[in-house]
Structure 1
Amino acid sequence: MLQDTTPKEPSAMPIPLIDVFAGPGGLNEGFSSLIDAAGEPIFQTVASFELDPWACETLKLRSAVRHYRRIDRVAPSSYYEFLRSGGRGLADLKVHSEMAVGFKEAESEVVCMALGPQTRPESDHIIESALQRHGGKDDWVLIGGPPCQAYSLAGRSRRKGDPTFADDHKHVLYKEYLAILERFRPSVFVMENVKGMLSSKHAGGAIFQSIRDDLSSAGYDLRSFVIPGSDPSPSDFIIRSENYGIPQRRHRVILLGVRHGTTLDSAGVLEEAMAPVTVEQAIGGLPRIRSMVSPRNRDSEVEWRRARDTAWLIAGRSGGRTAPTPDIGAAYLDEPAGDIVGELGDWLLDDRLGGVTLHESRAHMTKDLMRYGYLAQKAVMGERPKLGDLPDELVPNHKNARDVNAPFTDRFRVQVSGQASTTVVSHISKDGHYYIHPDPVQMRSLSVREAARLQTFPDDYFFVGGRTQQYHQVGNAVPPLLARQLGEVVARMFGRKVDTQRL
């Protein structure tokens, strides 16, 4: 092979990045993927703060992988062996000769702790030290999203009448974000939260206006990522992910803050995608799998087919007994994933992986299987039944399920193949009712990998923990491909040219 002798542009030092309330690292992944024309990273994470211990382990694993990609542009082969094993042997991977240095760096980067007034002296010391080590006392970027349960419409609905709700500390966790801004003065910050923040109130006042006033007093101008101008209205901060190549209708408030007096270039805006990306495009190429029938001692193909045949019969479809049965259980590396065309495929797929990880259906009760099969088949027929429309034999045996005013009438929802999905949230860890696979043949809820693809986590991104913890992490993240686009806007503010390739 001929050596490429094309001269490369000189590369500037990476811009330090600190990630707070990091979750499993969605914002971090997007920003860290950006490289310049010389192939060097534009941002480098110097500290990540997260409370959830499983998410911390995920962050450490990804940080170690990123360490080697900065050096060799590829992850070590031992990492792919770990993925091919379905994630077994993490302790051995941490001390493997190919990965030990990366994990040592990750241990100093990822901080597993709660941010709050009591821990502020410790977190301030960690931030101070990290910035000093990387020369970023002035030009650096703070990213993160304070926990959003207190602001979300669903959270407020579930806790209506709860006398402790007004005192929930999550209402004011943004104050920890604010404290970092006031003390360490990053040039730019990016803060993400739920759309419900715009209408949430606390102690008699509007949360969003209070946050906006506090940020202005701290010395920051707010900009919108989607609307140009210097005085955005509250609705201008809402980013609708499906407009930017994300296969998910995720609507979030994302603030871009710029420190007063900086000489940074004016912020640009995100460029809308030419066409929406659908559920089918994102997950349609993954291997077909079937759910186990719960409890596991009842599982059998006969029992599973009986549930599907009944569901299809009720839905008005025949032929269940002749339909193919997906392979049972996991599809780690036994079948390759299908191609995804375009930017999303370039982002998600990894040829070295050779298949998919975390693609295993959870077990479902027979009645839930029947509901999933029925509703998926109805979706194929262009119908979207709600709770009150279910046939009697499929109505859940809940106290209020048959009430005229039953809450959450869309508690069972099929993700439609030809559209972007609904928002993937952490509740997916509780049950799969809101995330029914569109293929009636499979009759199940989404796997962790399918949820991760809708969130645009690359296929080689591994979530540490049991399946419940994995779902929880996926639902708590910012879509990394959207985060990359946010990072491009911020990079241009610093005068950095972004290459189309990724780290």
Structure 2
Amino acid sequence: MLRAFTRAFAGRPLPDCYYGYIRAVDPAEKKRRAEAIACLPEWKEAGLEVWNATLGQIGFDELHSRIRQAIAGHDLWGLLGGPPCQAYSVVGRSRRMGIGEESRRSHDDEKQKLERERRAEAFFSDEKHTLYREYLKIVAIHQPPFFVMENVKGILSSRLDDGSYIFDKILEDLGDPWRAIAGEDLPTEEASRFMPASRHGYYIHSFVAQPNQDGDYQKSDYLIRCEDFGVPQERHRVILLGIREDLNIAPTQLKKQGTKTSLAEVIGDLPELRSGRSGRVTHKIRMEKKDTAATWIEAVKSAITNHVLEDVRAFSPVIHERMENVLQNLCPNLMRGGVFVPCEPWKDSTHDLAKWFRDDRLGGVLQHETRDHMDADFARYLFVAAYGEVMTDSPKLRHFPHSLLPDHENAKTEEGRRVFHDRFRVQLAGRPATTVTCHIRKDGHYFIHYDPMQCRSLTVREAARVQTFPDNYFFEGNRTEQYEQVGNPWM
């Protein structure tokens, strides 16, 4: 709702109380600023815009009445959205349809077969596979001039239980939504109030490719590789553009950028920070939490034992040398950041993205605060970041010296190293980041900062920059909830 409040000021400066609220550290000050915001008419307007509801679980009349009210008086409007992606993601499919470690170790073929059948039945009966039909009903009933539908690239290869591709079915249904929902049990009396005068179909276009001579697209034409269009992230998503068939509109394709935007370009201006200490030496050993710059430096140095350094030297003398250099030059002045960190971000105002991110009235950056990490992970983070600098790539678990392997039994087997090969991943300075997902809320192992001197994972603000949230975008809730909002922007 807070972001809806800022949209109510489109074309006008945001009020001072907004900046006071998002910069406030003291709870009493934050409450006072929130009360000032709540008194403004734009806050009431935001309350009318925001509605937290789940399709399929709310009444037909309530849903469509709200939509009709929202679009009243507008001839040109668009519907944006997409079904949940968990059912279509390659990772999600693999995890949910796998037979599990216990069955795999049993070597019982019949047991493994039954487990596969059980998991497949549960997977294909999941309502997430057909929630797109709720979206489809809105398209059919309200006939938007255009719509945009987004999902993960795994939707291109996802099949239904009859073996057919769900993406083919989605294209067919979106092209003729009324035919697609002909068998739906719509509430007759309520539905009659919302029936459109004409029932149109849609042409489904790609944002990045032109159709062939027959006006058709290949499946791959709907896949957008965001890093090709200036986004500092290798985020690959299927995005469909539906245009109502009675409109004489020819879409224009996005143009690829000449060069890709690197991670360092969008987070390199942010203040350098150190990580925090969780108080855990390893998963099994907890000590009193002492989190100062001095104890952090001591913990990092203690984690990089002579045994670890010798293992690294045997693997790569160059990486060993870089790690030694870091250990000798750890900065005692690094802070952990905070809810608001005064600084001058985006000093290079000529950068293509500066206009989008920058807000001179902020006077600093929001939510640039590091997580806690256990001491044993400092050695892994330092190794991974040093590896990234030297090899310009992120190491797989098979590249780790044995003394740096995680303290998990599966990480010490060849099978485990194959399955969990990306357990620790450094985000490289000179490339776009890898895809930011909701997993970032759990730990920072997939999102390690490229600077070995900082020995940490990305902050909420750094992840938000990767996801192209403007700097004045404030994420409510605790830090875990903030990471989840960044990793799942459709929330």
Q: Distance in 2 between matches of 1:116 and 1:248?
A: 33
Q: Distance in 2 between matches of 1:306 and 1:403?
A: 31
Moved more, 454-463 or 338-347: 338-347
Deviations 1:153-180 (A, max 9, x none): 1111111243522222111111111010
Residues 151 and 326 (structure 1), Cα distance of their counterparts in 2 relative to 1, 3 Å cut: farther
Deviations 1:347-393 (A, max 9, x none): 10111101100100110111112211111011111153211221222
1:149 corresponds in structure 2 to 86
Report the 3-state secondary structure (helix = DSSP H, G, I; strand = E; otherwise coil) of the residue aligned with 2:135. helix
Q: Which of these residues, 390, 394, 406, is aligned with residue 384 of structure 1?
A: 394
Residues 176 and 90 (structure 1), Cα distance of their counterparts in 2 relative to 1, 3 Å cut: farther
RMSD (Å), alpha carbons: 2.0
Q: Distance in 2 between matches of 1:419 and 1:156?
A: 28
Deviations 1:198-256 (A, max 9, x none): 00112222110110111112211100100123311110000111111111010100000
2:107 corresponds in structure 1 to none
2:284 corresponds in structure 1 to none
Q: CA deviation at 1:98?
A: 8.0
Q: TM-score, normalising length from structure 1?
A: 0.78
Report the 3-state secondary structure (helix = DSSP H, G, I; strand = E; otherwise coil) of the residue aligned with 1:271. coil
Residues 61 and 323 (structure 1), Cα distance of their counterparts in 2 relative to 1, 3 Å cut: same
1:412 corresponds in structure 2 to 424
Partner letter of residue 207 of structure 1? I
Q: Which has the larger radius of gyration?
A: 2
Q: Distance in 1 between matches of 2:150 and 2:3?
A: 21
Q: Distance in 2 between matches of 1:255 and 1:463?
A: 28
Q: Distance in 2 between matches of 1:455 and 1:240?
A: 14
Partner letter of residue 432 of structure 2? A
Aligned ranges 1:115-134 → 2 under 5 Å: 115-116=55-56, 118-132=58-72
Q: Distance in 2 between matches of 1:396 and 1:190?
A: 42
Residues 170 and 322 (structure 1), Cα distance of their counterparts in 2 relative to 1, 3 Å cut: same
The answer to whether residue 438 in structure 2 is matched with residue 426 in structure 1 is yes
1:200 corresponds in structure 2 to 158
Aligned ranges 1:257-296 → 2 under 5 Å: 257-263=242-248, 265-295=249-279
CA contact (8 A) 1:289 1:327 kept: yes
2:46 corresponds in structure 1 to 106
Partner letter of residue 449 of structure 2? H
Residues 159 and 370 (structure 1), Cα distance of their counterparts in 2 relative to 1, 3 Å cut: same
Deviations 1:179-202 (A, max 9, x none): 100100000000111000000112
Aligned ranges 1:129-140 → 2 under 5 Å: 129-132=69-72, 135-136=73-74, 138-140=75-77
Q: TM-score, normalising length from structure 2?
A: 0.80
Report the 3-state secondary structure (helix = DSSP H, G, I; strand = E; otherwise coil) of the residue aligned with 1:111. coil
Q: CA deviation at 1:94?
A: 4.4
Q: CA deviation at 1:333?
A: 2.8
Residues 215 and 301 (structure 1), Cα distance of their counterparts in 2 relative to 1, 3 Å cut: same
CA contact (8 A) 2:475 2:485 kept: yes
Task: Give unmatched runs, 5+ long, in structure 1.
Answer: 1-59, 479-503
Aligned residues: 413
The answer to whether residue 253 in structure 2 is matched with residue 245 in structure 1 is no
Partner letter of residue 393 of structure 1? S
The answer to whether residue 204 in structure 2 is matched with residue 222 in structure 1 is yes
Moved more, 95-104 or 105-114: 95-104
CA contact (8 A) 1:66 1:75 kept: no
The answer to whether residue 305 in structure 2 is matched with residue 321 in structure 1 is no
Residues 449 and 97 (structure 1), Cα distance of their counterparts in 2 relative to 1, 3 Å cut: closer
CA contact (8 A) 2:411 2:420 kept: no
CA contact (8 A) 2:82 2:150 kept: yes
Q: Which of these residues, 352, 362, 379, is aligned with residue 371 of structure 2?
A: 362
Residues 98 and 128 (structure 1), Cα distance of their counterparts in 2 relative to 1, 3 Å cut: closer
Q: Distance in 1 between matches of 2:57 and 2:8?
A: 32
Report the 3-state secondary structure (helix = DSSP H, G, I; strand = E; otherwise coil) of the residue aligned with 1:328. coil
Residues 252 and 303 (structure 1), Cα distance of their counterparts in 2 relative to 1, 3 Å cut: same
Residues 233 and 224 (structure 1), Cα distance of their counterparts in 2 relative to 1, 3 Å cut: same
Q: Distance in 2 between matches of 1:425 and 1:255?
A: 21
Q: CA deviation at 1:398?
A: 1.2
CA contact (8 A) 2:17 2:37 kept: no
Partner letter of residue 175 of structure 2? S
Question: Which aligned segments of 4 or more residues in structure 1 are displaced greater than 6 angstroms?
Answer: none
Q: CA deviation at 1:118?
A: 4.5
CA contact (8 A) 1:427 1:475 kept: yes
Q: CA deviation at 1:92?
A: 4.3
Q: Which of these residues, 70, 74, 77, is aligned with residue 16 of structure 2?
A: 77
The answer to whether residue 457 in structure 2 is matched with residue 441 in structure 1 is no
Residues 96 and 156 (structure 1), Cα distance of their counterparts in 2 relative to 1, 3 Å cut: same
Moved more, 188-197 or 333-342: 333-342
Partner letter of residue 111 of structure 1? W
Residues 351 and 388 (structure 1), Cα distance of their counterparts in 2 relative to 1, 3 Å cut: same
Partner letter of residue 473 of structure 1? Q
CA contact (8 A) 1:64 1:99 kept: no
Partner letter of residue 366 of structure 2? T
Q: Distance in 1 between matches of 2:225 and 2:429?
A: 19
Deviations 1:424-459 (A, max 9, x none): 111111111110000001101100000000111110
Report 1 or 2 for greater relative contact order, CA contacts < 8 Å, sequence distance ≥ 6: 1
Deviations 1:248-287 (A, max 9, x none): 0101000000111123x21101122232110000101100
Identity of aligned residues (%): 42
1:455 corresponds in structure 2 to 467
CA contact (8 A) 1:290 1:328 kept: yes
Q: CA deviation at 1:470?
A: 0.9
Report the 3-state secondary structure (helix = DSSP H, G, I; strand = E; otherwise coil) of the residue aligned with 2:448. coil
Q: Distance in 1 between matches of 2:273 and 2:237?
A: 32
Deviations 1:333-354 (A, max 9, x none): 3333243442211110111101
Q: CA deviation at 1:116?
A: 1.0
Task: Give unmatched runs, 5+ long, in structure 2.
Answer: 99-118, 178-200, 280-287, 313-318
